[in-house]
Homo-oligomer: A and B are copies of this chain.
Amino acid sequence: MVAELISVGTELLLGNIVNTNAQFLAEQCALLGLSAYNQCVVGDNRERLAEAFRTALKRSDIVILTGGLGPTEDDLTKEVCAEVLGIPLVEDAHTRERLEAYFADSVYKEIPDNNWKQAEVPAGAKILDNANGTAPGLILEKFGKSVILLPGPPDELVPLFRDQVTPYLRALQPEYIFSRMVKICGIGESAVEEKLIDLIDGQTNPTVATYAKIGEVHVRVTARAAGEEEAKKLIKPVVKEIRSRLGDSVYSIREEETLEMAVVGLLKKYGLTVTTAESCTGGLLAGRLVNVPGASEVFREGVITYSNKAKKKMLDVSKSTLKKYGAVSEQTAREMAVGGVFATDADACVAVTGIAGPDADGDKPVGLVYIACYMNDKVRVEKFLFKGNRSKIREQSVVKALDLLRRSILDNYRK
C-alpha cells in the first residue's frame, strides 16, 4: 500500500519551522511496511490544498494530512478534505464534551466561539481523541482510500499516531511488519557493514539495514509475517547473530533507549556513581547524563575545568604535566579523570579535553580530543581526531565519552 504525506501550513512554506512531522511520519510509515513516493507541503489555502489532496488521492491508498485542524479561520484541512470527498460536517457530541471539559480546566474565562468548530467532524469519521490538545485526529474512509488528519503540534501528533493510527494502519495490511533497532557505538558504519555484509545483502525476511548517526550506527532488522509472534520469531535469531558478531559495541536493542540511558542503567545495575571532568565539551557530557530521569542516583556532581588554572585547582592536574604535555594530552586527560574521583566520592570519572576549534593549538590540530575514564584504580585513555565544526566535534566527544564509560563498566564489573 502506498501512503502519502501532505503537510499543511504557511509557516513551513516560509521556513519558520523545520518539518520534523514529515520525518517522523515517513519513518513510522516505512516501519509499517507502507511504500512512500511523494510528500508535499501546501499553505493554508483552500484551492491549493484541495488540489494537493486530489492529486494524492489519485496516486496513493493512504493520505496523511497534518496541520490546519485548529480553531482559526486559517485552519481549513478538515473542511477541504470533507468537501473533496463529498462528506458533510456534523457536530460530534463526544468531541464537544471533551472540548467543554478542556476549557473548564483551563485558564480561559470565556471560550472563544470559534473553538466549537473543532467539534465538527466529517460524518462517519473515526475520531482519535487528542489527550494533549483540542483538535481530535480524524480518519475518513471513502473510495477505498484512507484519509488521516492529524494536528500539527508534534506533542499532539506523535502520541496520536503511535497510540491510535499505528494499530489502524496495521489492521489495513495483510502482513504484520515488525522491526527492532540494534544500537551500536564505538565502531564505524563501514566496519559494521563489513561484519554484517552477508546479512545485509543476503537476507530478504527479515531485512537488515544500517543508519549512521553522530558517533553511533543503528541497524534495523525488519520482518514481515502473518502475525506479530511470527514476525518476532523471524527477527530474534538475526538480532542474536548481529549481537554475537558485534559484541560489546551493541549498547541496546530497544528503540527508545538512548546511549545515556544505557549508561545510567549500567551504573545503576552495578551500584556505581560517576562524576565528569570536562574541558572542551564544557558541560555537555554531564548534560547528557542528566537527560535521563533518575540520573541523580548515579550522578551527583561534575566539574567544568575550561582553564588550566581550574584543572589544577579543581582536579589537581600537575603544573608540570600541563607545561610539558599541554592541556590537550593523554597525560592531562588521565590526571583529570583521577582528580575527578578524588575531588568527589564517585566511583568513576570521565574526563574530556580537546580542541573544538575553530583555532588549532600550536601543532595540535582542531578535532584532537583525549577522553579518559578512571574506574577501579585503573585509567583508560583514548585519543580521537574528529572531523567537523566546533559543535560536531563536541557532540562526537560526548558520545565517545559516554561509550568509554559504558565499556569501562562492562570490562570492570560484568561477571
Contacts and interface: CB of A to CB of B under 8 A. Distances in A.
Interface in A117-171: 155
Contacts of A29: 15
B15 A18 contact: no
Given A15-B24, A282-B289, A296-B307, A40 B37 contact: no
A284 interface: yes
Interface string A1-24: 000000000001111111110111
B40 A13 contact: no
A15 B280 CA distance: 32
Contact of A301 (B13, B27, B291, B307): B307
A306 B283 contact: no
Contact of A303 (B41, B302, B357): B302
Interface stretch (A42-50, A189-197, A245-253, A401-409): A42-50
Contact of A40 (B20, B24, B39, B356): B39
A38 B37 contact: no
A299 interface: yes
Interface string A40-76: 1111010010001000000000000000000000000
Interface in A321-360: 344, 356-359
Contacts of A187: none
A306 B293 contact: no
A28 B15 contact: yes
B23 A37 contact: no
Contacts of A396: none
A295 interface: yes
A310 interface: yes
Contacts of A309: 300-301
Given A282-B286, A291-B391, 18 more contacts: A12-B22, A13-B37, A14-B30, A15-B22, A15-B24, A15-B27, A16-B211, A18-B19, A155-B389, A282-B283, A283-B283, A283-B284, A283-B286, A283-B302, A283-B304, A284-B287, A293-B358, A301-B304
Q: Closest 3 interchain pairs by CB?
A: A282-B290, A15-B27, A283-B283
30 contacts: A13-B36, A14-B26, A14-B30, A15-B25, A15-B30, A16-B211, A19-B19, A22-B41, A37-B48, A38-B52, A155-B389, A282-B287, A282-B291, A282-B299, A282-B302, A283-B284, A283-B304, A284-B284, A284-B287, A291-B390, A293-B358, A293-B390, A295-B306, A299-B306, A301-B304, A301-B305, A301-B309, A301-B310, A302-B303, A304-B304
